[in-house]
C-alpha cells in the first residue's frame, strides 16, 4: 500500500532528527495524549469536549453537568496510555495478560466486576450486524489471537496493529470497553515497533465503523488504510513540531522549478505514491533527496 510506504519514509526522516529536543517531545506527548483520550472516548459516546478533557486531565477539574463516569473514562484512559507507553519501552512480550491489564485500567472504578475479566455473557454490538462469539469460546479464541497478533513476526507492523485491533473487536472478549482496549493495544504494538500512535478522530466515527463492518465480512484492506491514515496524521504532528523540518521540504511548485516535471505531473506522482511526498494542510511537500532520486531513476530508463 502506498500510504504505508509513505509512512515508512516519513518515519525514516523523523528518525534522522533524533534525539528530538525534550521540549518538542513533551509538547507532542501532551497534545497526543489529550487528542487520543478525547477522540477514543468520544467515539464511545463520552460527551466531554476536547477542552473539557484537557481541564480534567491537566487541571484536575470537575466539569459541571458531566457524569462521574465520563470523568473516570478520561482519567482511566490517560492512565492506560501511561501504562502502554511504559510497556512499549521494555522488551516484555505481549500476551493475554497485557490485554486484560489494559482493560482493567480502562474500566477502573467504572465496572469492578468485569474490569480485566473476559465476559461470561453473550453481548450484541449496537449498530453492527456482527454477532460476537459465545463466551464459552473466548478463552480459546484469545489464546489463538495472542499467538497470531502479539508476535512481532507477522506482516508489516501497521497491518499487524490494525488487524490486532479489528480481531480483538471481532472477538469482543469484554462486556464493555472493547473499542478503547483495542485502540490502546493497537498503539502499543505501533509504539513497540518505533511508530506513532494512530488516533482515530471522532469525526471519522462513521468511516471507522463502516470499515469495521467490512472487516467483519472479510474485507480488511479499508480498515488497514483507515488506521494508516490516522497514524499519518500523528506523523505530520511530528513534522510540524520539529524545528526547521517542514521548511526543508519543497512544495510541488518549487520542485517543478528544480526538475524537468510540471507541478501537475508531480502532483500525480505524489498521489500515486510514486515519489515520496507528504500532505501538510492540503499542500504536498517533497524532499529534495526524493526528487533527485526520482529524476535520476527516470534518466536511467
Q: What long-range pairs does 279-286 form, CB within 8 A, spacing at least 24?
A: 279/236, 280/236, 280/239, 280/240, 280/246, 283/251, 283/252, 284/251, 284/252, 285/246, 285/249, 285/250, 285/251, 285/252, 286/249, 286/250, 286/252, 286/255
- What SS3 state is found at 75? helix
CATH class of 2-241: mainly alpha
Tell me the β-bridge partners of 277. 286
- All cell numbers assigned to 291: 526528487
User: Edge-to-edge strands of the sheet including 250-251?
Assistant: 250-251, 283-286, 277-280
- pLDDT 10s digits, 155-198: 899 999 999 999 999 999 999 999 999 999 999 999 999 999 99
pLDDT for residue 137:
98
From the candidates 71, 77, 172, 216, which is the catalytic residue? 172
Distance (Å, whole) CA 49 – CA 56: 10
pLDDT for residue 1:
54
Q: Nearest 5°: CA angle at 187, between 280 and 16? A: 50
Residue where the block lists cell 478503547: 180
pLDDT for residue 153:
66
**Is 172 among the catalytic positions?**
yes
Distance (Å, whole) CA 275 – CA 266: 8
Distance (Å, whole) CA 193 – CA 152: 8
Domain boundaries, the chain: 2-241, 249-299
Burial class (CB in 10 A: 0-12, 13-18, 19+), 255: buried
What does each of the 301 residues of the chain score in pLDDT, given as a tens digit? 588 988 998 899 999 999 999 999 999 999 999 999 999 999 999 999 999 999 999 999 999 999 999 999 999 999 999 999 999 999 889 999 999 999 999 999 999 999 999 999 999 988 888 999 999 999 999 999 999 998 766 689 999 999 999 999 999 999 999 999 999 999 999 999 999 999 999 999 999 999 999 999 999 999 999 999 999 999 999 999 999 998 889 999 999 999 999 999 999 998 887 888 888 878 899 988 889 989 999 988 7
The alpha carbon torsion through 145, 146, 149, 153 (nearest 10 deg) reads -140
Amino acid at each position: 500500500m502506498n500510504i504505508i510506504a509513505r509512512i515508512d519514509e516519513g518515519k525514516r526522516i523523523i528518525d534522522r532528527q533524533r534525539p528530538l529536543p525534550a521540549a518538542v517531545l513533551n509538547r507532542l506527548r501532551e497534545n497526543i495524549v489529550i487528542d487520543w483520550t478525547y477522540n477514543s472516548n468520544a467515539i464511545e459516546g463520552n460527551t466531554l469536549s476536547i477542552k473539557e478533557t484537557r481541564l480534567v486531565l491537566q487541571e484536575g477539574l470537575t466539569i459541571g453537568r458531566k457524569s462521574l463516569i465520563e470523568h473516570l473514562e478520561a482519567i482511566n484512559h490517560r492512565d492506560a496510555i501511561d501504562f502502554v507507553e511504559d510497556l512499549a519501552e521494555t522488551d516484555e512480550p505481549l500476551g493475554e495478560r497485557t490485554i486484560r491489564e489494559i482493560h482493567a485500567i480502562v474500566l477502573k472504578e467504572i465496572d469492578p466486576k468485569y474490569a480485566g475479566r473476559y465476559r461470561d455473557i453473550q453481548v450484541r454490538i449496537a449498530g453492527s450486524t456482527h454477532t460476537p462469539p459465545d463466551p464459552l469460546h473466548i478463552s480459546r479464541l484469545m489464546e489463538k489471537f495472542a499467538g497470531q497478533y502479539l508476535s512481532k513476526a507477522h506482516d508489516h507492523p501497521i497491518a499487524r496493529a490494525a488487524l490486532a485491533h479489528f480481531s480483538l473487536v471481532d472477538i469482543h472478549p469484554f462486556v464493555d470497553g472493547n473499542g478503547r482496549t483495542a485502540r490502546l493495544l493497537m498503539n502499543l504494538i505501533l509504539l513497540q515497533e518505533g511508530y506513532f500512535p494512530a488516533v482515530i478522530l471522532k469525526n471519522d466515527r462513521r468511516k471507522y465503523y463502516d470499515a469495521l463492518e467490512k472487516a467483519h465480512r472479510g474485507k480488511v484492506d479499508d480498515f488497514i488504510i483507515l488506521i494508516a491514515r490516522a497514524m499519518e496524521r500523528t506523523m505530520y504532528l511530528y513534522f510540524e513540531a520539529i524545528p526547521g523540518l517542514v521548511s526543508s521540504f519543497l512544495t510541488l511548485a518549487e520542485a517543478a522549478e528544480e526538475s524537468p516535471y510540471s507541478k501537475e505531473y508531480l502532483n500525480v506522482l505524489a498521489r500515486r505514491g510514486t515519489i515520496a511526498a507528504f500532505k501538510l494542510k492540503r499542500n504536498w511537500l517533497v524532499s529534495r533527496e526524493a526528487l533527485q532520486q526520482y529524476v535520476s531513476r527516470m534518466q536511467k530508463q
